[in-house]
Structure 1
Amino acid sequence: MAGRAVRKVRQGSGRKVAKGFTMTKFSAGSEPNACSAWAVVDWFSDALDKTFFEEKFVGNMSALAVSPEGRIAALADRSLLFHLDAATHEPVEVVALYDENGKETDFEALVFDEDGTLLIASEEPAVRRYTPEGKFIDRLPVPDSLLIAPAGRAVVNETFEGLAMQPGGLTLVASMEGALRGDESSYVRFQAWERETTGDEFRIGVQWGYERDGGLLLSDICASGDGRLLVLERGFDKSVGNIIRVYLADPREADDVTHVENLSGQDDVALMDKTLLVDMVNCPPLGATNKQSQANPLLGNIEGMTITGTTPDGRLKVLMVTDDNQSDMQTTRLYGMTIRLPEL
């Protein structure tokens, strides 16, 4: 194909997004605790850090989701699912998860279906369905190209990292953490599954391309409620610490790249538009401390993100969590943010 990949980047200040780990300052809003024109950090809590619940270590968090009953589900990548009280965020239940062979696996993302079953993505890559009690039900088909080489083109530890259910429950979307072999390193793929009605089996749908910031990986996604997706990009650099950016991605005019063998800057392909909502280095630190050297001590290795509700004026209430990797130098930290979306 001739031409170049097309992707628009938007942000409140109208400036280009810096590539790599450049700590660029963006214009903040006028509200207290504003991080940008779109986002406010409301609070943080380290109450879960280095704690135990029913003799299980509360940490290694990789994903968050809200159950139909309103509880917060926090997924640990050590095959544990913690249910947290929605108000206090204290653990109230823990469920052990295993694959279809009864083995632990590296779980990375989850969403709830409307009937309370869980869809959980892992690094094989796979998307499995579980009962609310944690019993394995089945697994969704995965395109061959997304399997780990040599079966496919995916790189070990850079497969499914985010999972989102679009409004109506008919479209499920998974994001790859990194690029496929043969794709340009900054381009990652989002895989969709579709079904006719809720309760039906999901079938493989379209793929979209997304251009991540240089040096960053995709950590999580969630549905914004209007067909768009919040995308969490993260990285670490010794000179500045953690880099955490939240984008709004729009797949509505993106091309299906399922049959594009190699995504590159030379392809005439429409990627998802992305709008920078917040670079969290610009959030007020709120008195946070950090054992690691950070440009902003509030930051950590944020891996999980979910929307817990909306404000009366339609802004999103967003909950985030860090993965402490069970390390004394890292912290299990929860964040509450309020994010306003650009108009459609």
Structure 2
Amino acid sequence: MDSAVRTRRAADGERKRGADRRGRRWGSIGCGVLLAMLLVLLVVRLTGVDAGTPLAVPVVLFPYAGALGLLALIATIAVPALRSWPLVIGAALLAVAYVVLLVPRFVPDDERHIPAGAPELRVATLNTHVGRGDARALVQLVKSERIDVLAVQELPSAGIDAFAEAGLGEVLPYQELHPENDSSLYSRIPLTRGGPLEADTAWPQTTAQVTVGGRAVRLVAVHTYYPLGDAQRWTRDMTALTAVARDGGADTVFLGDFNASLDHAPMRDLLASGGLTDTHAELGKGWARTWPAGKGLLPPLVPLDHVVHGPGLAGLSVGERTVPGTDHRAVVATLALLPTA
């Protein structure tokens, strides 16, 4: 082999080693940037600084960030170009933190003691997308799921008329309708003490009571402002609902479009301060994505709609249903009334 060939091969080898070094460097930089972003989101989640700030928008993606953290950990271990102790240790710490925060919502609460024959209340909530929801499909849902109480949001007068024409009043004859306030209640059981909730929210929330098993259950049909539009207004809505929940009693159900996930600080404050339980998390289904719906091939991405209840009740079942024409999935839940002390 002559010297020219050896020189050329040596040059090729050096170029390859240089390319490998650059690839490892850029790979490490990219992985480091990803881990830094995951760390920032984790700090926001832990400190609750999303309340009243635009950070409320990315926080809704926290579970996706947890999945990215696990993938980053796998990559730093399995990909030679990314394998370095600082990256591995950083990815591992982040993955553990995300897992600790996320796993509980996927584990059913097995400490509940629900006696056989406990009175039950079947509830549902649906954002009707300014009345565009298919009225006949909704009536069929109410019938098939044997709904006792239905909370609706974004239901204008025209939507109320469409629901009446489809026969909703025949299955849910008791109604607290407030199209001017954006939320309404339909019920198979007589409603009492109904009207707009006295709270500082962007739109008055509709409230009423039903009697189940001899006990009065307070209902609040929720529709808060949205963080993307005004994070401070959304936070004030959630704070107002928290004050209501704090004084609401054990037999209280808040159901509707909270425009919040379990990772938002105002939502966690609402649950903790009011002694409330999110039915999805209670039953190990804590990432039930309800929005956006009806967007072609795009599946629902984030959980904005919830049924939460006080300590006097327990969740028996919960699920999501699609009603054509809406941009949210309906949430249907069965709640049991627990014996009083």
Larger radius of gyration: 2
Q: More strand by proportion, 1 or 2?
A: 1
Taking structure 2 as the reference length, what is the TM-score of the superposition? 0.35
